[in-house]
Structure 1
Amino acid sequence: MKKYGFGVDVGGTTVKMGFFETSGELLDKWEIKTDTSDNGKAVLPDIAQAIDNKLAQEGISKSDVEGVGIGVPGPVRSDGVVNGCVNLGWGVINVAEELGAQTGLKVKVGNDANVAGLGEMWQGGGKGSKDVIMVTLGTGVGGGIIVDGHVVAGYNGAGGEIGHITVNHDEIEPCNCGQYGCLEQYTSATGIVRMAKRKLAKTQDATKLRDYKDITAKDIFDVAKEGDEVALGLVDEVGEILGSTLSNIACVTNPEVIVIGGGVSKAGQILIDTIQKHFKESCFHACRDTRFELAQLGNDAGIYGAMQLIIG
């Protein structure tokens, strides 16, 4: 008898939903709007309704559904309590309990970056490995640390928040989190642009980067691939900060593979090669053979990982 499950990835704008067989086959995926009005009160009822609609459409009974996995943009405790999701307007909420009551199904909850890491471990860049670090380089820097197939979530659900490791004690501009010198300030898409603007203001060196009015992280990598010295220097700086930080984390978890995802990862091999070079220069000798891979699931990593929460 086939069994099914749902993987749900809640974002600030849209909720991505996946309908799976427990074998891991994705049968269907779709999105619904994230209704953040009234402190996000409608988010979970909307998800429950979408699940009911899909089961009715497929003619599948809830008794054939293993459960619902859900990734949310905030810290999640082991009991399914979410300690606030600023993007959704949520305070402290027991998502497992509430969505469980609304669907009549078993619900498991995880932080969105951790869940994306599970997805990449299960069916993506980390497939076949059980010790994985997932790094998402987007508007911010997220992380998911997986040891022996299980997410390291920590006491308050803040495990894997690698974007807020301090990498520069001399930073004078605050990070969005309120601290100074966080990894996110240098290796996120916005952080890379910030570094570029600082560098261009300090140096008179000729570079194609000066031709861009509103420079993006993609522009910096594209120009570096053309051999531009200033852009190459910036890419190297990003790789050094990220590579050395990951080498410190590797001393704690000793991953088999580090998966790099998020919008910045679209830069491809130049990014992977630079991070890996600096990682090898500073890592403990027993971690030197850690593999680096690009994420493969793109925006679907969250729904795959959420499903993995149920069957893992």
Structure 2
Amino acid sequence: MEKWLVGVDLGGTTTKLAFISYYGEIIHKWEIPTDISDQGKNITTNIAKTIDAKLDELGQLKNKILGIGMGAPGPVNSSTGAIYEAINLGWKDYPLQQLLEVETSLPAVIENDANLAALGEMWKGAGNGAKDLVCITLGTGVGGGVIANGQIVTGISGAAGEIGHITILTEGGAKCNCGKTGCLETLASATGIVRLANEALLETDEPSKLRDFNGSFTSKDIFDMAREGDKIASAVRDKLALYLGLAAANVANVLNPEIIVIGGGVSRAGSELLDPVQSYFKEFSFTRVRESTHMAIATLGNDAGVIGAAWLAKNAFGE
């Protein structure tokens, strides 16, 4: 009997789940709301219940499942599967792997969500099997995952790859969730880009279609307006490209990966984002790095996390 893998991608608002074949094909995927009440204590129970219900619905028994891979926000202790801290869920030193295994009666393995997106892109996405890869995810925050020689780089305390917390502005800059100021996350996340645009609108009287939104525009609107030649939107896009290109070049100068994959909601801007980022990347990267490291937009979209989680489970529990 060919076994299935379960991939779980835990987000602050929704949790994505999928049954995935041993070879990385999605068999069935769905999502449930993330219940962050009572410091997230219902999360593992809800995951266990929905897996049981879905197996039932598909007429499968639990022995069809080889194991669960799960991505969670925040640094993970890879030896115990505990979460050191996930601020938006209210978790601190939370024994996620242990609780998930107890609730589901299945073996589980836990990793940081951005690391799993990187693994997903390596296995089935833009990474195309590259063994040295960096993934930068631009969503509500900025996540990073580093794969060197086919292995996730976790670091001594699970915090490797925190690309979103590279300091880009050494003076001024907005305060980040992490407590520092000037982090890449405050500049290149979806919320950061909107903040940059609001600041630009206050600094000048330059006409801009962004003013018609009365402050309720999104990062997508900014890219759309930039595409139409709106001067302020174009300047914001350029500033974002500078910050992201600089951070990516610094990361690449240290790691010299084969590919840097840009993912997350903001990456849907495609070449509108990638082209200017690449030109700054070339400006700031070391010659050998510039010649050997290339950049691409992620191809798996929202599925990267669950596919990476399945890869993790396959590696942990497979033959």
User: Cα offset for 1:101?
Assistant: 2.5
CA distance in 2, matches of 1:39, 1:237: 37
Map 1:197-236 to 2 at 5 A: 197-214=198-215, 215-236=217-238
Report what 1:254 is aligned to: 256
Partner residue in 1 for 2:97: 96
Q: For each residue in 1:60-111, what CA deviation from the matched residue of structure 2 results, as whole angstroms up to 9, or x when unmatched?
A: 4544432100011121011211112222232212222221223232211011
Q: What do residues 94-143 of structure 1 show as CA deviations (whole Å, max 9, x unaligned)?
A: 22222122323221101111111211221122222121111111221111
Q: Per-residue CA shift, 1:22-52, capped at 9, x if unaligned?
A: 1111111112232222222221122122223
5+ unaligned residues in a row in structure 2: which ranges? Answer: none
Structure 1 residues 227 and 93 mapped into 2: Cα distance closer, same or farther (>3 Å)? same
Q: Write the letter of the residue equivalent to 1:77.
A: N
Q: Which stretch shifts more, 246-255 or 27-36?
A: 27-36
Kindly state the Cα deviation for residue 154 of structure 1 after the two structures are TM-superposed: 1.7
Query: Which residue pairs with 1:9 in the alignment?
Result: 9
Give the conservation status (yes or no) of the 8 Å contact 1:164–1:183. Answer: yes
Percent identity reads 50
Structure 1 position 169, deviation (Å): 0.8
**Segment drifting more, 281-290 vs 202-211:** 202-211
Aligned partner of 1:44 in structure 2 is 44
What is the identity, as a one-letter code, of the residue corresponding to 2:148? V
**Size of the alignment, in residue pairs?**
312
> 1:130 is paired with a residue of what secondary structure?
coil
Structure 2 partner of 1:279: 281
TM-score, scaled relative to structure 1 = 0.93
C-alpha displacement at 1:291, in angstroms?
1.9
Any unmatched runs of 5+ in structure 1?
none
TM-score by length of 2: 0.91
Report what 1:69 is aligned to: 69
CA distance in 1, matches of 2:235, 2:66: 50
* CA offset digits 1:149-184 (Å, max 9, x no partner): 222122222111111110111115322221111111
1:1-312 matched pairs, under 5 angstroms: 1-79=1-79, 80-214=81-215, 215-288=217-290, 289-312=292-315
Q: 1:204 to 1:156 in 2, by over 3 A?
A: same
Per the TM alignment, residue 13 of structure 1 is displaced from its structure 2 partner at its CA by 2.2
Alpha-carbon distance, 1:302 to partner: 1.3
**Partners of 2:204 and 2:45 in 1: CA distance:** 54
Q: Give secondary structure in 2 for the equivalent of 1:87.
A: helix
Moved more, 189-198 or 270-279: 189-198
Distance 1:176 1:86, change over 3 A: closer
Distance 1:278 1:295 in 2: 19
Aligned counterparts of 1:34 and 1:159: Cα–Cα separation in 2: 26
Distance 1:207 1:58, change over 3 A: closer
Cα distance between partner residues in 2 of 1:109 and 1:252:
27
Q: How far 1:58 sits from its partner (Å)?
A: 4.1
**57-66 or 24-33: bigger deviation:** 57-66
Contact in 2 for aligned 1:77/1:155 (Cα 8 Å): no
Counterparts of 2:28 and 2:19 in 1: how far apart (Å)? Answer: 5
Please give the secondary structure, in 1, of the residue aligned with 2:32: strand
Partners of 1:41 and 1:230 in 2: how far apart? 44
Which amino acid letter does the alignment assign opposite residue 240 of structure 1? L
Give the stretch that moved more between structures: 87-96 or 137-146: 87-96
Q: Which moved more, 1:198-207 or 1:166-175?
A: 198-207
Offset at residue 204 of structure 1 (A): 3.2
Q: Is the 8 A contact 1:113 1:144 kept in 2?
A: yes
Whole-Å separation in 2 of the counterparts to 1:272 and 1:172: 24
Is contact 1:116-1:144 (8 Å) kept?
A: yes
Between 129-138 and 208-217, the greater mean CA deviation after superposition: 208-217
